[in-house]
Structure 1
């Protein structure tokens, strides 16, 4: 009979079934926001819609112009997509005053602040906007982006179930996939897909570069490659996130897998693909002047003053990472932010406590990459742009901090039982906040937030404006999606999954290596291939050295 404590109900589905179920769960969770929001319901969505429709019409590289605040470009798009704002930044006003997107295909010239951005994302989501320039096209474009993000997050979840030692990295995944992540991934905006790509990139890169090398890591290579290519091109900060992640995880070289990886053909191909994408993305940025964000007339600060203002703004950035939704005009009650941030901070602090000196070095590099560098860039540009940074811009990098912190904890300090308990506590904490954030934001869009909140005022079925598919549709989708993700995390196996039943001499933690796989391994590394199961007795007893505080994986140099 199968031991539920070891296998878990989610583990009985098999890897393909798990991926499909996780994809559906994330798609429902993100898609709920897609069908709940009014047109231009997320920051700058109209700007990205115009850019996407222009790229779909063949206007890939429009001439840079002073289209918005002295930056951007002009695109020719269907008239039905060009709408003005009337309720943004006014949380007490519903979206009923806005004119919805229409089906008028008449070409008009429209300025967009996103007109200079890299075209690949817009080519993927923009074609429905040209074919059906109304609600049909907008919803389909949103759902295409939601599906891409859901695929990356589902892949990250499966990687954790296959590679994470005690599945505690699921806690990092849950902490990184905030309501703001779902909110942005649901819109026509590359930032949402960038966050999902950052989560997938670090989820795969951490075990790929730090765990024992094996040909079974081909799946990790593929996910690192796909997410790395996407991360490099989606926004201007992508190459920076990749560079910081590489420095943090690959150095010191003697305590990682970089040299072993570079001896394999697949790793060299993916490294070349990511490098080429980074180079072309940087060249695109230089030629199209994407770093010119425009002139906001905010040159009243000295650089010394800007340092203190930027430091003070991190209180807002942290809340925005969790979920200050709509146009940054919808703030949940304070306990939602404090609970999420406390749980995320606990992972980081405990990783610093239990981690080795090299672990702390890596965590510090990731934190500096996600905090200090973006702040320094903001301070340097303050005289031209003012303070335009938002917390969501740092999420792709800070997701790596949470995932690596969870990785360190399960390697150094927390055993299987406590890892499972931690993940379940995070499920109980995060799932209700996700649903509450959606309900709270729907209330804001549908009838505006009242001056004084009460339970009676939080009714998502009232108001002069309603989602195009009705108010019940996003709520049902969100409940189903969150239930699926919560169930997968709650019943996750405490031992690693395999693609097929383990053969004699192999376990889930020490996979069988075929003769064909051995041929790809450098001769010097073949001694590390497991040939017999030596861990099952220790796993069952719960007293293995790897499960004691300070035990487990060490970073001692290999022979």
Structure 2
């Protein structure tokens, strides 16, 4: 083997690609973990209290009502050192919400008491499935303070980064850099921020992304079967599917959407082969048991029961047409903005991200078969539609309760479906430049949103963007946080450059046939080297 061939093989080895991707997403999320104060991100206080309760044995705590918005949850006894007594002042300085929402810098928080004496709290996520909280909350048992919070955040960040890195390996090793670019459309700054905090929403999004990538390659082996054996993809789908099923109450819905979307683009003969394949039946059985247990937990715990809160909305006109018009005018735009940049004012980021997404996905959509495009659009419509339905359903109890981050597990499917097939009809230069352009834009957006958020918690929402100024700073210092984020952004760019620099192999005739729209059939024994016969 020549020196050039050896270098190229090393450059695209799965281990190196995985480490690059893990470093990219892990460092970006770690920067957020270090940068935020206690309760610095969405609903973190509630999840921290749930995590502490779970790791100390209170898996099903007594029911109670949250005093802030009168929302049902569960009561826990947590150390006073866990959170500042007025942690919510970063968002809600007046606890009774009798005045307008006014955010303050994190310097408004009083120091958490040093004592580990217990205080009773009520978390409205107190009866969520405990598995996620057991996975990331163990540091809180030994360090019930800001140290434990940061360590738990880092565990959550590493978990999400592992899912992202594994999906990236599947894309890169199968010579599909445009699939990697499509995955970045879902790994928005919001996804990274959620992955950096004690909040199951981030892991739900990243696990759903990996689930979609694996399922599509399993049902259409010509898409990505060249680089990964089908048993490996099935095992990865089994793990990611089990995570999606359990981390949040909506998990079974997103799981069903992923399985249904994958089956919709599969040939009937392939579905019959999978049904005869022992490994596929085993994974399906694991999913069935996991799903039943997840649904049973939601029923037993009462997560499916919602009572009236103090922020319920009761419009005078209850007609569905009126509510739909209000949601379309006042809510949908905010959903998509929040899906890109969470709760910070960074108006150019959603526009740039949308432009990059269009540049990556629209050319791919024009090359796909009608069935794939229709399936991708249906997945997107269902993802948005269920969010609208839940908004209307809970308007009179929870108020305006839905957010853009909730439908990202579904939109992951649209991106993967459009990008999973090798883009053989696109010029090689375009296949290199689009992912690289996306990587540069994504790195810039990730860093900018983090700097805007750091400015908000350090200097307040009206302060000019300056992540080094303000009355509050992270314990490790703002320069350290930005250095970690910079390394993550550099690793992201390096990952995409590695993917696009890989030597392009000549496409087998079957792949060219599939790209042209002709059905292509591969039997399980042909695809699965060494697998047991169905």
What TM-score results when the alignment is normalised by the length of structure 2?
Answer: 0.87
After superposition, the C-alpha distances for 1:372-395 in whole angstroms (9 at most, x for unaligned) are: 122122222222222110111111
Match of 1:237 among 250, 253, 262: 250
Q: Is the 8 A contact 1:166 1:415 kept in 2?
A: no
The residue matched to 1:22 in structure 2 has which SS? helix
Query: Is 1:15 aligned with 2:14?
Result: yes
Aligned equivalent of 1:96? 107
Aligned equivalent of 2:323? 306
Q: Distance in 1 between matches of 2:433 and 2:10?
A: 17
Aligned equivalent of 2:176? 166
Deviation at 1:255, TM superposition (A): 5.1
Q: Distance in 1 between matches of 2:512 and 2:217?
A: 18
Change (3 A) 1:439 1:558: closer
Q: Is the 8 A contact 1:67 1:112 kept in 2?
A: yes
Q: Distance in 2 between matches of 1:152 and 1:353?
A: 29
Q: Is the 8 A contact 1:366 1:397 kept in 2?
A: yes
Deviation at 1:272, TM superposition (A): 1.3
Aligned equivalent of 1:524? none
Query: Is 1:259 aligned with 2:272?
Result: yes
After superposition, the C-alpha distances for 1:67-104 in whole angstroms (9 at most, x for unaligned) are: 35231111121121243211216676311011244542
Q: Distance in 2 between matches of 1:2 and 1:396?
A: 44
Change (3 A) 1:364 1:154: same
Aligned equivalent of 2:26? 27
The residue matched to 2:289 in structure 1 has which SS? helix
Aligned equivalent of 1:219? 232
After superposition, the C-alpha distances for 1:33-76 in whole angstroms (9 at most, x for unaligned) are: 00000100001100000000001110001133323523111112
Which shifted more, 423-432 or 65-74? 65-74
Q: Is the 8 A contact 1:91 1:444 kept in 2?
A: no
Aligned equivalent of 2:62? 63
Change (3 A) 1:136 1:252: closer
Aligned equivalent of 1:316? 334
Q: What does 1:102-121 align with in structure 2 at a 5 Å threshold?
A: 102-121=113-132
Change (3 A) 1:337 1:8: farther
Change (3 A) 1:484 1:102: farther
Q: Distance in 2 between matches of 1:199 and 1:185?
A: 13
Change (3 A) 1:137 1:102: farther
Q: Distance in 2 between matches of 1:80 and 1:9?
A: 52
Change (3 A) 1:245 1:545: closer
Q: Distance in 2 between matches of 1:2 and 1:161?
A: 22
Aligned equivalent of 2:455? 443
Which shifted more, 373-382 or 291-300? 291-300
Match of 2:483 among 476, 486, 499: 476
Q: Distance in 2 between matches of 1:95 and 1:2?
A: 58
Change (3 A) 1:98 1:143: same
Match of 1:331 among 345, 357, 373: 345
User: RMSD over aligned Cα, in angstroms?
Assistant: 2.7
Aligned equivalent of 1:465? 472
Q: Is the 8 A contact 2:270 2:521 kept in 1?
A: no
Change (3 A) 1:492 1:468: same
Change (3 A) 1:99 1:547: farther
Q: What does 1:125-140 align with in structure 2 at a 5 Å threshold?
A: 125-140=136-151
Q: Is the 8 A contact 1:87 1:93 kept in 2?
A: yes
Match of 1:391 among 392, 404, 422: 404
Deviation at 1:342, TM superposition (A): 2.1
Aligned equivalent of 1:512? none
Aligned equivalent of 1:358? 371
Q: Distance in 2 between matches of 1:18 and 1:55?
A: 35
**What is the total number of aligned residue pairs between the two structures?**
503
Aligned equivalent of 1:515? none
Deviation at 1:277, TM superposition (A): 1.2
Deviation at 1:358, TM superposition (A): 1.0
Aligned equivalent of 2:95? none
Q: Distance in 2 between matches of 1:439 and 1:276?
A: 43
After superposition, the C-alpha distances for 1:106-160 in whole angstroms (9 at most, x for unaligned) are: 1221100111100001111222112111111111111111111111111111111
Change (3 A) 1:172 1:253: closer
Q: What does 1:369-518 align with in structure 2 at a 5 Å threshold?
A: 369-408=382-421, 410-411=422-423, 413-450=425-462, 457-493=464-500
Aligned equivalent of 1:295? 308
Aligned equivalent of 1:81? 82
Q: What does 1:173-212 align with in structure 2 at a 5 Å threshold?
A: 173-212=183-222
Q: Distance in 1 between matches of 2:11 and 2:171?
A: 16
